[in-house]
Structure 1
Amino acid sequence: MKYLLIAALLCSTVAFAQMPQGGSPSLTGKISGLIIDSLTKKPVEYATVALSRAGAAKSTNGALTDNKGTFKIENVAPGKYKVTVSFMGYQTKVIEVSTSAHKPDANAGRIILSPSANILQEVAVTGEVPVVENRVDKVVYNAEKDATVSGGNAGDVLRKVPMVSVDQDGNVSLRGSQNVRILVNGKPTGAVAASTADAMRMLPADQIKNVEVITSPSAKYDAEGTGGIINIITKKKEMSGVSGSVSGGLGTRQNNGNANLNINKNRLSITANFGGNSTWPQTTETFNSSLTPADNILRVQTGTSRTSRYGFRSSGNVSYDFNDYNSISSGITVGQGRFKTEGESLSNRFTNDNLSEAYSFDNLNKTKFGGFDWNADYVHKFKTQGHEISLAGQWSHNNNNTDFSSLYSLESLKDKTGENDATNDEYTVQFDYTLPVSKAVKLETGAKTILRDINSTSDFYTSVNNSPFAFDNDLSNVYTYNQDVYSGYAVLSFQLPKGYGLQVGGRLENTQIEGTSANPKLGIEPISNSYTNFIPSFAISKTLKNFQSLRLSYSKRIQRPSLQYLNPFRDVSNDQFQRQGNPDLSPEVTQSVELNYSAMLSKTSMINTSVYFRHTTDIIESFVKSDTYEGRPVSLTTFNNTGNNNSVGASFYGSVTPVKNVTFRGNVDVFSYKPNASGQFENFAGSRKTYAQYKAFISGSYTLPQNFVMETFMIFNSPRRTFQGKNPSFNMWQLSFNKQFLNKKAKIGLNVVDPFNESKHFKSDINTAGLVQVQDFSIPFRSFGLNFSYSFGKVNYNPQPKKKRGVNNDDLKQDGGQNGQGVGGGN
């Protein structure tokens, strides 16, 4: 079935591209241009462009600028015209343009808009776009304008994004929820599906242009991701000519490198990128203890481990516009990473406060992961602006290979080695149709199919009393899992009088699941499940005076467990602390209501605040319990639908420039968590109190003479609560000093992270009636690094706006770091 869908996509792309659809009439053309802010020299989004005959008072046609400030007015007969550009807070600009039968198309070039007089009195001329922008449906963090992220990776960037937090393991949360879908250029990647944390480490910060945060997605988006959507946009030049950049960093903790090349000529566009990073080996100290009060058995484990890692990501894309109505695009992204951990530990077991067992063991773990994402799409635009259809497909292939060994000093324990090879393939076909019913009404509809296949092969070998290693059929397994999602949606948007906007939509999704184990000795039952969800969405907005806006939204989202949570492979590399997935998990369902207010205080100052309520059922959380393995007591971590939660929260973001060249930014998110364990999990729950959790950061920048810039930021995150206990908090302070030269084409800088903390401790606790567990580890944290960047090439502006392309899978609950059971297991 999946191969027929891919073949149909390719055939349709070729067929559509070859059809002479929507040909332009011979006596009509178009008028296009770019609207630029006179102060910042940046594009002006959503400005109104009216077209009228020279000498006439009434407009005959018009358009809005897109998010790149460009506009295009179609079906223009030859003649002389007056182009009128207007936008709130700016002086109206009028220019004259002529077309003829011999030259029906006209490019008005750059049209400069100047702020109105009352706005100019409030503005300090900085020439820079804000680091954080609040738009109608999302918050945008402009990473390329923040010097403190240079030389880092995507995880460092996400730590600076409003409402987003990243813990010490690389787990990403949005407003405290890890049920967030991360996209790269609007598309999912196989690397993120395998491990969010490792995928973010593979992506250099210097490759990121901005990050979009969508907290209340409409029904157009996949229903997955109860916390919201984070879309990472990489740097791409959409201009005519050849350009590129190189950047890198060398530090005491990690090293980075990145290179970009952009070729744009007429209708052909080619982009290429390569980036990578590596870390110096670092030593981690660990402490684990687990007490079962019922039998008064205490297990204590201490040790040290040395970890090193590397990763790279490369991509290429080719797009071609046949004409103003038809275009195709295809691209591929390839990535690979590896981490290696080698350590020694000492284990002690106490029974009734007496030492009953003591031994040491050596552990070696090597994991290599990688894959590719290939996509192709076709876009056809009709004569009416905004009227278009698109057909897109994507194939994501990801491998996760893990080798480990555990050697024990206690002869009664089996020495173990293991190999786990997992392959994950995802095939997607997506069709979207947009119809402007009128100037005030727009219809969006579409359909989508996602087919996911995983094959995980685990081979274990054991040895007793130093005997040769032999294949262990009791542990080895081949597990196959298939998850297919079929969906369709419709969204209606209305532009109402007096600044009101309304959007209503619905999405229907059917999920079919099959899972089988090849080893009956493991007792893993086959699973076969199917469920259908209806996902409504609603939003109403009001534009107020003086650049203020209000938005009230309701959304319902589901969170399917991803393969890290489902894989029943049991990781026994540590004899006392083990981990296993759960293929019987049900999806989470979250309903949320949010009220948002934003205001631009000046060109460089803004505030954004919101209050929200979320009701979540069938919460998926890690579940730790006492268990036995080979007749010995162990602590087993798995995943379950533990209950439900009602959460009330508020977030505030502000940016202010009190004096010239000085900017302060701050963000605070506060939300409640009250665990309501259900069924059997009530007996395993910890405290039932309501907890207040928070995430906050504050930053400041100061522009000095001679193109010197000094910046600093601090992050404060509270411990993350679970129904059994809490996970570690995360705090960090960073300083950066940068110097620009060669007409700002080059930059060199120094980054300092936590100069007064050589290492950091991260502690998690579980405190229930049946289990008391503490895990604590410390890692080197203080770091110093040098970074540089250089841009080259000469480009000219191309007024043709790029089409929105590609597949967007807002999908699957992720376990970002090594806290979760990986696809390959044994991590």
Structure 2
Amino acid sequence: MKKITLLLLCLLTSTYLLAQKPSNETISITGKVVDANTNQPLEYATVVLKNTETQVVSGGITDQTGSFNIKNPIGTYEISVEFISFKTIKYPVQEILSNKNLGTIKLYEDTSSLDEVVFIAEKSTVDIRLDKKIYNVGKDMTVKGGSASDVLDNVPSVDVDPEGIVSLRGSENVRILIDGKPSALVGLSGADALKQLPSDAIERVEVITSPSARYDSEGTAGILNIILRKGKASGFNGSVNVTAGDPKNYQAGVNLNLRTEKINVFSNLGYNNSRSPGIYDSDITYLTGNVVDSIRVENRDNERLRKGFNANFGLEYYLNKKSSITGTIFVRDSNNDNVSINNISSFDTSENNLYNSLRIQDESEKDQTLQFSLNYTNNLDDKGQKLTVDLQHSASSENEFAIITDTNPETNTTNELSIDNLVQADYVLPIGENSQFEAGYRGSFQDLSSNYLVVAPNLDPAYNPSNNLEFIQNVNAFYTQFGSKINKFSYLLGLRAEITNIDIQLLNNNENYNKNYTDLFPTVNFGYELNDDQSFTLGYSKRLRRPSSRYLNPFESRESEVIFSKGNVDLDPTYTNSFDLGYLNTWGKLTLNSSIYYQHSTNNISRVNSQDVRFVNGKETNVIIRQPINLASEDRSGFEFTANYNASRKVRFSGSFNYYQFETEGEYTYNVTDPNNGNLTPITQNFDTKNDSWFTRFDAKITLPWDIQSQTRVFYYGPKNDAQSEREGILSTNIALSKDILKDKGTLVLNVSDLFNSRKYQVVGYAPSKENPTNITDQTFQRRMRQVSLTFTYRFNQSKNQKDRKPAGNREDDGGGDEF
């Protein structure tokens, strides 16, 4: 057959190894496969070697640079090089007695095959690059019918907590990009927006723990780059998927693609209608000295109803064989209803009931996003010289209205509008065969307004959180980097300069805050290939964390009368120096990828609990205020490993383990107000602490009788303590079953998320400190309960098991420019 799949190649190679007589004399056949029109490397091209004496077939595939290195016994071989939709090259039969380099092999596009059936890859793989790890979502059944948050929560090194906050290696200071750029898809509230982006729209996730100078310096823990499916295959093809689940989870998605020689049209359409019940229970013990004064119990039932539509339309036009223009439009419109029913009781030390209340918050929320993007790509010559220019404009609005029914009823309204613009240019210049120079500019400009209004007849004016915030942030960045490969050693050195200008206005209080700073961010990445199975990477990068508008906005949450969350308008950025040492090794069927990392942060942003005294229902009450502050420093170190074991074609196991320890130093001084006379009492809180934590995953994929695919994933997050809290360990289990139907054009997936309904966060918090607490809060919260869903996917003009290829005009990795 013309196109030999990777699976068949592996089977043939195994046959060859069993059939060939042992020989101590082996030779290496090397080379590089590129597109003849664009000179871009062809990854996953197939090199087939047929021994004309034994008739045994062997070979290999090319890596991301288009290179291959095949070791075989000496002999007489017929060699051919193949790639989907390209013309095959065959070499004459030749006797090979020593190492042979075939040089650069140029394949020409086979225009007669443009209308052939398209192949889409679905296998889950891990690809290691100098500056990142790439996790292909592939055939991951446990995220079918889920969202982008579910996809991220299944990526090694990543965790998503019940509030939707994403962390990398235990740190929340992570930057989330879409296709290599800041995007309106993340929205004003990143956690909620990610829950509305369907998992089916995601092709892969790049985990960048040691980012090169090409990337923004934002994100001290690193970067998560979500690459969306864009449909790069020839002809007209697509897929339709629908999901039904309990609790209520209705989703529908359509992915369509049409590609000819001159244009590529792609689209992703999605609709969701879901209900997510959750709980938040807290027992607050009030102390005077070491004596219990009273106990307040809050049992809160939350229900989040989401209904939304999102669409992504794109048109890529090939100006010629070397350049193209791509325009995309993204639209999102969602309507959410969040209902919180809080049963409140208060008791004295003899358990006599002092007070009962029912506090109901009914909040409606409307989010809308419109984003336009334009990309120009020009492969300037046949040697890899390249220029790309990106323009992006987006407008995101979020409007919330909440009615709170209680002894003291109130309403609150939030209206936010963010206008974001992005200008980016990147230039790549190859130098010789193994070196590359890059330079570029990125300008990001955000103008956000937030109007928050609380109306309550009995609200103390001194504690009215209403405010009107204007936030302007402009960042101009320039970068350059140079990389080269010398035999088995490779390196990538870069420097990025960023000029940040921030202007904050609190219109209600007539307060202005201006923060301007210019910083340099060096990056260093090394790689060494010990042999074909073992390699090392070493990376260093300087990063920062700018406080977002939500961290700066001083409005207070209103779901509870005694527990508030708010921002801090006077936050400064955090700076982090990161070091990462990685090791990759393959032993037959087992692959191990491991890392040791260390991070030192100054001016670290941490969320802390402080106390205040307010009148609640006519009584002086200690309240807890949770807000971010700048601490002096944090040191974080740890190690992680990911292992994959393919026991057989029908049984595959994988697992990951991450252990880290952190040490924080710093003090925080704040004032407690006496509500009777307004006097201020300063309290100094020490946050010096040293602790550790860990989390692990185990994944088993097994083919059952009747070709039913099963997948089981177990996740455990170990206990974690800091200066003000103690959190218990968390265990959750997901299972899924998949069956192909309709002659492999359709697939049914039954997915059970959190099988034992055990993903509950149990935290004990101390305010102001563990040593001298006046409040001890025992909390249990669960954002989403066990979910059962059934997903049906139908593909037309697609096969589910083979590799898609990208068009000749733009063989990019969709997220970060050329990979060195």
TM range (shorter): 0.7 to 0.9
Residue 389 (structure 1) aligns with: 387
Cα distance, 1:156 vs. partner? 1.8
Question: Matches of 2:294 and 2:793 in 1, distance apart?
Answer: 54
Cα–Cα, structure 1 residues 62 and 260, in superposed 2: closer, same or farther, change >3 Å?
closer
The answer to whether residue 54 in structure 2 is matched with residue 65 in structure 1 is: no
Q: Deviations over 1:580-611 (max 9, x none)?
A: 21121111111111110002334x53110011
Q: Deviations over 1:731-770 (max 9, x none)?
A: 2111111111234221112222344447845435236124
Question: Equivalent of 1:307, from 278, 303, 306?
Answer: 303
Q: What SS does the aligned partner of 2:194 have?
A: helix
Residue 615 (structure 1) aligns with: 600
Residue 480 (structure 1) aligns with: 470
RMSD of aligned alpha carbons: 3.7
Which protein has greater RCO, CA pairs closer than 8 Å, 6+ apart?
1
Residue 322 (structure 1) aligns with: 319
Question: Matches of 2:313 and 2:541 in 1, distance apart?
Answer: 36
Question: Equivalent of 1:791, from 789, 795, 807?
Answer: 795
The answer to whether residue 546 in structure 2 is matched with residue 577 in structure 1 is: no
CA contact (8 A) 1:144 1:206 kept: no
The answer to whether residue 605 in structure 2 is matched with residue 605 in structure 1 is: no
TM-score normalised per structure 1: 0.80
The answer to whether residue 402 in structure 2 is matched with residue 404 in structure 1 is: yes
Question: Equivalent of 1:553, from 539, 543, 547?
Answer: 539
Matches within 5 A, 1:709-748: 709-727=709-727, 729-748=729-748
The answer to whether residue 275 in structure 2 is matched with residue 273 in structure 1 is: no
Question: Matches of 2:179 and 2:647 in 1, distance apart?
Answer: 35
Q: What SS does the aligned partner of 1:237 have?
A: coil
Question: Equivalent of 1:108, from 81, 87, 95?
Answer: 87
Q: Deviations over 1:611-661 (max 9, x none)?
A: 111111111111211124568542211111123111220001000022341
Q: What SS does the aligned partner of 2:69 have?
A: coil
Question: Matches of 2:559 and 2:750 in 1, distance apart?
Answer: 41
Amino acid at match of 1:559: R
Cα–Cα, structure 1 residues 289 and 156, in superposed 2: closer, same or farther, change >3 Å?
same
Cα distance, 1:391 vs. partner? 1.5
Residue 508 (structure 1) aligns with: 497
Cα distance, 1:281 vs. partner? 5.5
Question: Matches of 1:340 and 1:588 in 2, distance apart?
Answer: 35
Question: Matches of 2:175 and 2:783 in 1, distance apart?
Answer: 28
Amino acid at match of 1:401: N
Question: Matches of 2:188 and 2:395 in 1, distance apart?
Answer: 10
Cα distance, 1:206 vs. partner? 2.2
Question: Equivalent of 2:68, from 87, 108, 121?
Answer: 87
Amino acid at match of 1:609: S
- Which stretch has the larger CA shift, 679-688 or 305-314? 679-688
Q: What SS does the aligned partner of 1:201 have?
A: helix
CA contact (8 A) 2:334 2:367 kept: yes
Amino acid at match of 1:393: L
- Which stretch has the larger CA shift, 191-200 or 167-176? 191-200
Question: Matches of 1:375 and 1:70 in 2, distance apart?
Answer: 35
Residue 22 (structure 1) aligns with: none
Question: Equivalent of 2:190, from 179, 193, 196?
Answer: 196
Residue 212 (structure 2) aligns with: 218
Cα–Cα, structure 1 residues 274 and 798, in superposed 2: closer, same or farther, change >3 Å?
closer
The answer to whether residue 511 in structure 2 is matched with residue 525 in structure 1 is: yes
The answer to whether residue 202 in structure 2 is matched with residue 205 in structure 1 is: no
Question: Equivalent of 1:777, from 776, 781, 797?
Answer: 781
Q: Deviations over 1:702-752 (max 9, x none)?
A: 123443111111001124544422456442111111111234221112222
Q: Deviations over 1:360-418 (max 9, x none)?
A: 33322222223122211212221142211121111122111111122323xxxx42111
Q: What SS does the aligned partner of 1:571 have?
A: coil
Cα–Cα, structure 1 residues 201 and 41, in superposed 2: closer, same or farther, change >3 Å?
farther
CA contact (8 A) 1:36 1:69 kept: no
Question: Matches of 1:722 and 1:146 in 2, distance apart?
Answer: 35
- Which stretch has the larger CA shift, 604-613 or 415-424? 604-613
Structure 2, gaps ≥5 residues long: 12-28, 48-61, 97-120, 671-681
Cα–Cα, structure 1 residues 39 and 792, in superposed 2: closer, same or farther, change >3 Å?
same
The answer to whether residue 339 in structure 2 is matched with residue 337 in structure 1 is: no
Question: Matches of 1:296 and 1:424 in 2, distance apart?
Answer: 47
CA contact (8 A) 1:644 1:677 kept: yes
Cα–Cα, structure 1 residues 486 and 597, in superposed 2: closer, same or farther, change >3 Å?
same
Q: What SS does the aligned partner of 1:39 have?
A: helix
Cα–Cα, structure 1 residues 270 and 629, in superposed 2: closer, same or farther, change >3 Å?
farther
Amino acid at match of 1:230: L
CA contact (8 A) 2:760 2:780 kept: no
Cα distance, 1:291 vs. partner? 3.1
CA contact (8 A) 2:704 2:710 kept: yes
Matches within 5 A, 1:423-572: 423-464=417-458, 475-497=465-487, 499-520=488-509, 525-572=511-558
Cα–Cα, structure 1 residues 721 and 181, in superposed 2: closer, same or farther, change >3 Å?
farther
Cα distance, 1:276 vs. partner? 3.0
- Which stretch has the larger CA shift, 715-724 or 149-158? 715-724
CA contact (8 A) 1:761 1:776 kept: yes
Cα–Cα, structure 1 residues 62 and 270, in superposed 2: closer, same or farther, change >3 Å?
closer
Structure 1, gaps ≥5 residues long: 1-32, 52-59, 72-83, 98-105, 117-126, 810-827
Q: Deviations over 1:259-285 (max 9, x none)?
A: 111111112011111123332352535
Q: Deviations over 1:42-101 (max 9, x none)?
A: 9xxx984379xxxxxxxx999672446599xxxxxxxxxxxx99612467974599xxxx
Amino acid at match of 1:261: L
Cα–Cα, structure 1 residues 749 and 185, in superposed 2: closer, same or farther, change >3 Å?
same
CA contact (8 A) 1:697 1:713 kept: yes
Cα distance, 1:700 vs. partner? 0.5
- Which stretch has the larger CA shift, 537-546 or 794-803? 794-803
Q: What SS does the aligned partner of 1:220 have?
A: coil
Question: Matches of 1:34 and 1:219 in 2, distance apart?
Answer: 39
Identity among equivalent positions (%) equals: 26
Cα distance, 1:793 vs. partner? 2.4
Q: What SS does the aligned partner of 1:145 have?
A: coil
Q: What SS does the aligned partner of 1:218 have?
A: coil
- Which stretch has the larger CA shift, 616-625 or 471-480? 471-480
Question: Matches of 2:732 and 2:465 in 1, distance apart?
Answer: 42
Question: Matches of 1:514 and 1:257 in 2, distance apart?
Answer: 42
Amino acid at match of 1:751: N
Question: Matches of 1:259 and 1:166 in 2, distance apart?
Answer: 27
Residue 15 (structure 2) aligns with: none
Residue 252 (structure 1) aligns with: 246
Amino acid at match of 2:384: G
Amino acid at match of 1:377: N
- Which stretch has the larger CA shift, 295-304 or 693-702? 295-304
Cα distance, 1:315 vs. partner? 0.6
CA contact (8 A) 1:290 1:635 kept: no
Matches within 5 A, 1:282-293: 282=277, 284-289=279-284, 291=286, 293=288
Cα distance, 1:210 vs. partner? 1.8
- Which stretch has the larger CA shift, 341-350 or 246-255? 341-350
Question: Equivalent of 1:646, from 630, 635, 659?
Answer: 635
CA contact (8 A) 1:203 1:276 kept: no
The answer to whether residue 8 in structure 2 is matched with residue 39 in structure 1 is: yes
Question: Matches of 1:93 and 1:137 in 2, distance apart?
Answer: 37
Question: Matches of 2:403 and 2:578 in 1, distance apart?
Answer: 46
CA contact (8 A) 1:549 1:597 kept: yes
Residue 753 (structure 2) aligns with: 753
